Amino acid sequence: MEWSIETRELRRTFRDRPVRRLFRRAVGTPIPDKIALDSVNVTVRPGELFGLLGPNGAGKTTLIKILSTLLLPSSGQATVDGIDVAKDPDSVRQRINMVSGGEHSGYGILTVRETIWMFSQFYGVPTKVARQRAEAMIQRLGLSDSADTKTSKLSTGMRQKMNIIRGFVSDPKILFLDEPTLGLDVGIAREVRAFICEWIKEHPERTVLLTTHYMAEADSMCDRVAIIDQGRVLACDTPANLKRDLAPDCVYRIEVPLWTEAVNPLDQMPVVRSVAMEHRGDQGRTHLRVILEEEGGIASVTDRLAKRGARVLSMTRLEPSLEDAFLSLVGHGLTSSNGENGAR
């Protein structure tokens, strides 16, 4: 199969900043290179919406920069549409476009419409086609009222919508989106995500690689997700398979009256892998999040609670989430995965 994107043993290291290097040399401490990507092997099929999910500093932007020819790999190989990014960057550039979250692109004196127009011309889009595409996308993303506003006057959300249009206006074969909803309000983030998903549905032969540190964004949008941490890809599969294979599947939330004793009511039970307690003093209740070794263990858990005088007020079996899968794989969560911008 001809992959849309393929990396083989891709590695990228960064040297420390010159001042720090000088200082460290003077002090006599070794100066290891920072490994941003380590033996990364990723394959993306044509037509896929592929997600790179990882915490800050995982190496997502570095990978996107290499694939979009802004940065060279230290070793290993990367191809985009079958073309080696290091050997023939010009041919790669003709097939791609890239949008980053939180970027301040645009020239303040130009309006939204003018900016999009200018970028479409950088990409050599024929005049009539560029106009039609730009207008359709301006309408779809609700930018019509701001289309003649200077970009320096735009809110963050409006600016990001304009950046998104700038990325899509060249109708690229492969599109890189680096944290496209970073820092956006819930509503605008939802609009941007819906726009991306609709575009890929209407252009089933196009490929989108997006990075995110929002769990639900990866879960709800992507056909497949690579979980990346500290420069390494730890798992790569559909969100459903990642949840099935990696997330503990016997997770219950049990509510009992406020548990004030020091000893955990479920301590030393072999069927219980872990239990987290959260006391809700205001409600007079304690929430237990119980992960079982096996499904059958739930009966002995309720027995034990009854014996210890912790009457079960409610019990819910929780669906495994991508976050559970991530936690069990990486060993720590994504710090900003809670309160994320409404991906569900």
Ligand X SMILES: Nc1ncnc2c1ncn2[C@@H]1O[C@H](COP(=O)(O)OP(=O)(O)O)[C@@H](O)[C@H]1O
**Would you tell me which residues interact with ligand X (CB under 6 A)?**
14, 34, 36, 54, 56-62
Measured from the CB atom, the residue of 59 and 180 that comes closer to ligand X is: 59
User: d(Cα 21, Cα 23) in Å, to the nearest integer?
Assistant: 5
Measured from the CB atom, the residue of 59 and 106 that comes closer to Mg ion is: 59
- Minimal distance, residue 62 CB to ligand X, in Å: 3
Q: Which of 4, 7, 61, 286 binds Mg ion (CB under 5 A)?
A: 61
Binding partner of residue 62 among Mg ion, ligand X, none, CB cut-off 5 to 8 Å per kind = ligand X
- What is the token pair recorded at 312? 């079960």
Task: Render 249-285 in DSSP notation, one character per residue.
Answer: S-EEEEEEE---SSS-TTTT-TTEEEEEEEEEGGGTE
- Minimal distance, residue 35 CB to ligand X, in Å: 8
Measured from the CB atom, the residue of 167 and 320 that comes closer to ligand X is: 167
Q: Is 68 in the site for Mg ion (CB under 5 A)?
A: no
- Minimal distance, residue 151 CB to ligand X, in Å: 25
Binding partner of residue 59 among ligand X, Mg ion, none, CB cut-off 5 to 8 Å per kind = ligand X
Among candidate residues 162, 128, 156, 130, the one with its CA nearest the CA of residue 143: 162
If one counts every other C-beta atom within 10 angstroms of the C-beta of residue 294, the result is 10
Q: Which of helix, strand or coil describes residue 97?
A: strand
Measured from the CB atom, the residue of 15 and 104 that comes closer to ligand X is: 15
User: d(Cα 256, Cα 204) in Å, to the nearest integer?
Assistant: 50
List 207's β-bridge partners, or say none: 174
- Minimal distance, residue 264 CB to Mg ion, in Å: 39
If one counts every other C-beta atom within 10 angstroms of the C-beta of residue 41, the result is 13
Contact residues for Mg ion (CB under 5 A)?
60-61
